[in-house]
Structure 1
Amino acid sequence: MKFSIFLLLLTTTLFAQTEYPKDYFRSPLDIPLKLSGNFGELRPNHFHAGFDMKTLQKEGLNVYAVADGYVSRIKISTFGNGKTIYIDHPNGFTSVYGHLQKATDSIESYIKKTHYKEQSFEIEMYFKPNQMPVKKGQLIALSGNTGASEGPHLHFEFRDTKTEKIINPIFFGFDALLQDTKRPIVSNLYVYPLDSKTTVNHSQRRIPINLSLQKDGTYLADKIIANGKIGFGITTYDYDDFSFNKNGSFNVDLFNNGKSIFGYQFNTYSFDEMRYINALIDYSFYKKTSQRIQKLFMDPPYNLSIIKADESNGIITVAPNLANVCRLEVSDFYGNKTTIAIPVEYDSLTAVIEKEAVMANYVVKSSKDCFFEQSKNSVFFPAGTFYNDFDLNFKFSSNVLTVHDDTVPAHTNFTISMESDAFDPTKKDKVFIGRISGSGVSYNTTREKNNVYEIRTKTLGQFKLAMDTIPPVIKVLKSVEGKNLDNQKVLQVRISDGLSGIKSYNGYLNGKWILMEYDNKTSLLTYDFNDGIAAAGDNELKVVVVDNVGNSSTFETHFLRNQKL
């Protein structure tokens, strides 16, 4: 009992909101703040790390430094946040600006020089406090759609400078820039039997529970008849008054007989915790339906700091002569709340719907190292690879290695090895282990020694050895051969590779390396004539593209310009 009280006090203390400065930072945009994504929103393999701010469905809006500080880091990537600027502030926080079209003034000039110095589009730079100072409200960039962005917007974050923990921007006074009078929506409630002996409403499988709106605005769930250990799950989202986007819900609390037994609040967390989203959600259901059920229990526990739980970890034991009156509260930062009463009663039921059968021939114990081998092909799971024990389907047939399927999430890398002497010894560097996806295979970085090929991956599924001897394809969008391009601001080339994928790309104009920006969404390389490298008269263009196993393609052409920019 003493331990329970201590744990409750500890989690309450840890969950208390830290005081953050409310009036120190301004908005990075000079238009009304509207969100297309909020902090903690559920994304593939991670929680969203900040605010996605709408930019009027276009690029090129001014982006400003939110406070005095200095540019501490700049990263240019074809994936993730694309073109990103980081500013460290003297009060111990870092602001992050992502998916930018480009930086401005001296910042952009420094970036351009670094591109040419390193002869690479993808670069990363770190700065000291006196190198690139900025003032609050200073124009630092233009908004864009770079990296993994699915449309023009500004990705914006706050981080603790020392720990690099990500913090919800709502705590920094950004709540005053938004308006939210709407309660979060719980679109579905589910109940889970958590062991082989438990039956819920005559089922040994997860089942949905109907909800009825009451006169006081709360909801009442249909009565649950169960025996043994059960847990709940929900699908939930939240609207604000102006954005009309389904954003994530801020706070969830589950009570049993008036006691808080499980909950979480999206306030702050570290990047190391991101992948625990796959433990929080019903991952199997998500892979099958693309819908994310947030589980309100941990079985077994995992180290996600946003979770507060008592000793039950959200698991409710339904037993004879033991009442269970459950209540679920989902709320936003502004205090708007949705409440669901969930009546639970004991009854010894027979299972009409039995537990779903799983095709398997081995058992994985998540707390132990596990090694399985068939026909000189093997898989090794280090202890802690998975969140739960599970029955594994592992076999080798028709040159395909089946390592279960992607309905079980892996938290860390595991190793797959495949042995074969069927490949030409002179072309072993073109062979890789590919994960079968539809009619194709996805590339994995592969090591080879003595005809044994090996990869490290976090994704289960079917794998096979594949060889890629086909070079990448390079196509100019519109022929420029011998043409005058005085009226063109840019020159674009599309590149692609049908198997192992693009590893590197380089452009040369009159023998000099040129910056060609790569957009992975459109597969376009773009050269901007404002670089000033094009000569008056004839110009020779060469583009070289290499795939992940070393196949190379070269495209060459020439064009005319009567004036030098």
Structure 2
Amino acid sequence: MPLKTCLFVLISLVFAGFSSFSQNASDTLHSSMTGLIAPLGIPLVLSGNFGEFRGNHFHTGLDFKTQGREGFPVLAVANGVVTRVKVRPGGYGNALYLKHQDGATSVYAHLSLYSREIESWLLRRQYASRSFGVDACPVTPVYFTQGDTIGWSGNSGSSGGPHLHFEMRDKHQKPVNPLQWDLAIFDSRAPEVGRLWVVPVDSRGLENRDAVVKVNKGDTVTHSAGFVHLCVEAKDRLDGASNVCGIYKLEVEIDGAVFSSYSIDTLDFSVNKDMNAHAYYPAWKSSKSQVHRFAPLPGNRLDIYQKRPAENLMISAGETTSIQVKCWDAHGNVTSCSYSIYGQINSKESVTTAIHSADHNPKKTVAALPNRLTELSVDGMSVVWPKYSFYSKETASLSVMGVKEMAVGPADAPLAKPFTLTLDCPAGECDYWVAERRNEKGKRAGVEVCECESTKLTFSSSKMGIYHLIQDTVPPRVLPKHSASPIMENGDLIFHVEDALSGVSQVSGFIDDQWVLFHWDPKRKTAMYHASDLHHISGGTQTVRFVAQDEVGLISEWSGNVTFP
């Protein structure tokens, strides 16, 4: 039960040594700390770990499996006070932040419910603000003792299935690897290390990503002499699950000398998307393969590297370069692999000319550097990459394929900051436009909403590629979830809501013109009013109105009379 007093005692050992976490590079991380209890009272099996690749960032916590269902009690891992309750349709969904005596914070996400005290405060807050989304702290402090139930596991937000996302953050709100505590998480499986990737680098410092050579473990490959970037396929799996997780530590030796090394003890939200510069981005973008670079790109700001190479690796003609890779997981399991590259004399350097975007005219290219603003204009279209957008030297490009279609490149390079593209409104029509990004097969890979100013459209994106302008003229689809009426036997109201293009931006509901709370779940395409809120008249017939708006401002509405049980 939550403590009602403002005085609580925290075991001092729980967070001792927090400031040294980023320096901890030992081969075995697990159980180097004590003092926390597990956040779940069931056998601990991970579907995701700290530092694995996720979307455009490193995963900053542990994902605990909950046996394919919701509703397990989630426990406070140590004494603490609630400093943040966040509710949103996506992301972490229902999340709770518990601050501990030394300033460290534990985070519990994708909950189905909070404790009774938090739920009561939250409902009042949502009705007072007329908003489903909340990001606030209770005015009256709420305390939990280690082992108290802070909520129940769920599948809220952008969760791909029932589980608990758990984080530990230091006093500066930097995530730290929870596997350093002695949680009962077992792992006897060593990391899986695959092929070595050899990426040629030309005399201008550009990667030739169309000429990558892949080397199997134990093999020797003949490669043109010259500078190269090296990467390796590496991932991990833990006992009890087949889910692909991330590695903890990687060390590379070149001809017997340490070339590079890194370990993921702590991360930093402000630069976490630089995962794209640590990964070999084309492999992650196309197939979600975890391919790790040995040397970080120049614009990579991640503070995870113990050894950074001073310069690119040179493959010398007539010589064999030996590469030894050691890879650890947090439990100390290790895999070691070797590869060799024989340098072949190359009479003519292979110069990188590919733009990595559709070869259409008119087209312009320009050399882009990480520390320089980059601009291109073609036929009334212009694109701007702000300073520090690129992680390395690239050939930026803009191709115009028509009034409504363009390609921004190189599509196989990551960006630290989004580009902005500006063009004239097609046929003088400036309303309801979106830019649809298409993949190599021509299918939709993402949508950006266009902004209108005078006769110009603009959109921004962190992903380069082919974009096609589409006018979104169809409002969201809204209808009762199960029948002609949204009313359920228990008095709940449930609507189906979705949008085919720009996406639903917000929903709202009213009973007799009074705002009521609808819990919105985009992945299930549902919005629900809970009868337990008691904002209706039992046995009475009332007018229900439900409104959904999409990202370009189009609105749909359902209205009708319902009789509540």
TM range (shorter): 0.7 to 0.9
SS at match of 2:102: coil
* Residue aligning to 1:402: 407
Is residue 435–residue 449 contact of structure 2 (8 Å, CA) maintained in 1? Answer: no
153, 156, 176: which one aligns with 1:167: 176
* Residue aligning to 1:3: none
Rounded Cα–Cα distance in structure 2 between residues aligned with 1:348 and 1:440: 44
> Aligned AA for 1:68?
N
1:64 equivalenced with 2:64 (yes/no): no
1:326 equivalenced with 2:323 (yes/no): yes
495-504 or 62-71: which moved more? 495-504
Q: Closer, same or farther in 2 for the Cα pair 1:258/1:397, shift >3 Å? A: closer
SS at match of 1:75: strand
SS at match of 1:422: helix
> Aligned AA for 1:333?
A
* Residue aligning to 2:418: 413
1:431 equivalenced with 2:441 (yes/no): no
Is residue 197–residue 228 contact of structure 1 (8 Å, CA) maintained in 2? Answer: no
* Residue aligning to 1:208: 214
* Residue aligning to 1:554: 557
Rounded Cα–Cα distance in structure 2 between residues aligned with 1:451 and 1:467: 15
* Residue aligning to 2:15: none
Query: Could you report, residue by residue, the CA deviation over 1:326-384 in whole angstroms, capped at 9, with x for unpaired residues?
Result: 21100112222111123344442468998674447412312322211122211011221
28-37 or 391-400: which moved more? 391-400
Once the 2 structures are TM-superposed, how far is the Cα of residue 196 of structure 1 from its aligned partner?
5.2
SS at match of 2:225: strand
Rounded Cα–Cα distance in structure 1 between residues aligned with 2:445 and 2:341: 48
Once the 2 structures are TM-superposed, how far is the Cα of residue 444 of structure 1 from its aligned partner?
3.0
Q: Closer, same or farther in 2 for the Cα pair 1:333/1:436, shift >3 Å? A: closer
Is residue 436–residue 470 contact of structure 2 (8 Å, CA) maintained in 1? Answer: no
Once the 2 structures are TM-superposed, how far is the Cα of residue 440 of structure 1 from its aligned partner?
5.9
* Residue aligning to 1:242: 240
Is residue 299–residue 390 contact of structure 2 (8 Å, CA) maintained in 1? Answer: no
> Aligned AA for 1:419?
D
* Residue aligning to 2:250: 252
Is residue 200–residue 211 contact of structure 2 (8 Å, CA) maintained in 1? Answer: yes
* Residue aligning to 1:533: 535
SS at match of 2:284: helix
> Aligned AA for 1:431?
Y
Query: Could you report, residue by residue, the CA deviation over 1:420-445 in whole angstroms, capped at 9, with x for unpaired residues?
Result: 37235xxx4x3334134346695434
1:382 equivalenced with 2:353 (yes/no): no
Q: Closer, same or farther in 2 for the Cα pair 1:466/1:318, shift >3 Å? A: closer
Once the 2 structures are TM-superposed, how far is the Cα of residue 484 of structure 1 from its aligned partner?
7.8
168, 183, 189: which one aligns with 1:182: 189
Once the 2 structures are TM-superposed, how far is the Cα of residue 90 of structure 1 from its aligned partner?
0.5
> Aligned AA for 2:256?
G
Query: Could you report, residue by residue, the CA deviation over 1:57-89 in whole angstroms, capped at 9, with x for unpaired residues?
Result: 100111011111101001101111111000000
Is residue 110–residue 155 contact of structure 2 (8 Å, CA) maintained in 1? Answer: yes
Query: Could you report, residue by residue, the CA deviation over 1:290-313 in whole angstroms, capped at 9, with x for unpaired residues?
Result: 323211123435211112334435
User: Aligned runs of 1:155-554 on 2, under 5 Å?
Assistant: 155-161=165-171, 163-174=172-183, 177-195=184-202, 205-211=211-217, 220-300=218-298, 302-312=300-310, 315-319=312-316, 324-349=321-346, 357-358=354-355, 359=359, 361-366=364-369, 367-399=371-403, 400-404=405-409, 406-420=411-425, 422-423=427-428, 428=430, 430-437=431-438, 438=442, 443-479=447-483, 481=485, 485=488, 487-488=489-490, 490-535=492-537, 536-554=539-557
Is residue 361–residue 391 contact of structure 1 (8 Å, CA) maintained in 2? Answer: no
Once the 2 structures are TM-superposed, how far is the Cα of residue 493 of structure 1 from its aligned partner?
0.5
126, 151, 163: which one aligns with 1:153: 163
Rounded Cα–Cα distance in structure 1 between residues aligned with 2:75 and 2:424: 55
Rounded Cα–Cα distance in structure 2 between residues aligned with 1:137 and 1:57: 23
Once the 2 structures are TM-superposed, how far is the Cα of residue 100 of structure 1 from its aligned partner?
0.6
Rounded Cα–Cα distance in structure 2 between residues aligned with 1:375 and 1:353: 32
> Aligned AA for 2:435?
G
Once the 2 structures are TM-superposed, how far is the Cα of residue 480 of structure 1 from its aligned partner?
5.0
SS at match of 1:273: helix
Once the 2 structures are TM-superposed, how far is the Cα of residue 46 of structure 1 from its aligned partner?
0.6
SS at match of 2:448: coil
Q: Closer, same or farther in 2 for the Cα pair 1:478/1:326, shift >3 Å? A: closer
SS at match of 2:532: helix
* Residue aligning to 1:137: 147
* Residue aligning to 2:128: 117
Once the 2 structures are TM-superposed, how far is the Cα of residue 242 of structure 1 from its aligned partner?
2.2
User: Aligned runs of 1:41-56 on 2, under 5 Å?
Assistant: 41-56=52-67
Is residue 299–residue 388 contact of structure 2 (8 Å, CA) maintained in 1? Answer: no
SS at match of 1:268: coil
SS at match of 1:112: helix
SS at match of 2:428: coil
59-68 or 453-462: which moved more? 453-462
RMSD: 3.0
72-81 or 471-480: which moved more? 471-480
Rounded Cα–Cα distance in structure 2 between residues aligned with 1:401 and 1:435: 10
Is residue 194–residue 216 contact of structure 2 (8 Å, CA) maintained in 1? Answer: no
> Aligned AA for 1:194?
V
Rounded Cα–Cα distance in structure 2 between residues aligned with 1:13 and 1:271: 14
Once the 2 structures are TM-superposed, how far is the Cα of residue 106 of structure 1 from its aligned partner?
0.4
Once the 2 structures are TM-superposed, how far is the Cα of residue 419 of structure 1 from its aligned partner?
1.4
* Residue aligning to 2:49: 38
> Aligned AA for 2:327?
V
Rounded Cα–Cα distance in structure 2 between residues aligned with 1:204 and 1:476: 51
Is residue 159–residue 165 contact of structure 1 (8 Å, CA) maintained in 2? Answer: yes
Is residue 198–residue 213 contact of structure 2 (8 Å, CA) maintained in 1? Answer: yes
Query: Could you report, residue by residue, the CA deviation over 1:212-258 in whole angstroms, capped at 9, with x for unpaired residues?
Result: xxxxxxxx333555522233211112122223322111111001233
444-453 or 409-418: which moved more? 444-453
Structure 2: any 5+ residue segments left out of the alignment?
Answer: 1-20
- TM-score when normalising by structure 2: 0.86
SS at match of 1:291: coil
Once the 2 structures are TM-superposed, how far is the Cα of residue 321 of structure 1 from its aligned partner?
8.0
* Residue aligning to 2:12: none
Once the 2 structures are TM-superposed, how far is the Cα of residue 446 of structure 1 from its aligned partner?
3.5
Is residue 295–residue 308 contact of structure 2 (8 Å, CA) maintained in 1? Answer: no
SS at match of 2:535: coil
Rounded Cα–Cα distance in structure 2 between residues aligned with 1:384 and 1:301: 7
Rounded Cα–Cα distance in structure 1 between residues aligned with 2:406 and 2:202: 31
Structure 1: any 5+ residue segments left out of the alignment?
Answer: 1-11, 212-219
SS at match of 2:128: helix
Query: Could you report, residue by residue, the CA deviation over 1:271-320 in whole angstroms, capped at 9, with x for unpaired residues?
Result: 1121111111221233333323211123435211112334435x322235
Rounded Cα–Cα distance in structure 2 between residues aligned with 1:19 and 1:210: 30
How many residues are treated as equivalent by the alignment? 530
Is residue 67–residue 135 contact of structure 1 (8 Å, CA) maintained in 2? Answer: yes
Rounded Cα–Cα distance in structure 2 between residues aligned with 1:465 and 1:193: 36
Is residue 75–residue 148 contact of structure 2 (8 Å, CA) maintained in 1? Answer: yes
Once the 2 structures are TM-superposed, how far is the Cα of residue 397 of structure 1 from its aligned partner?
3.2
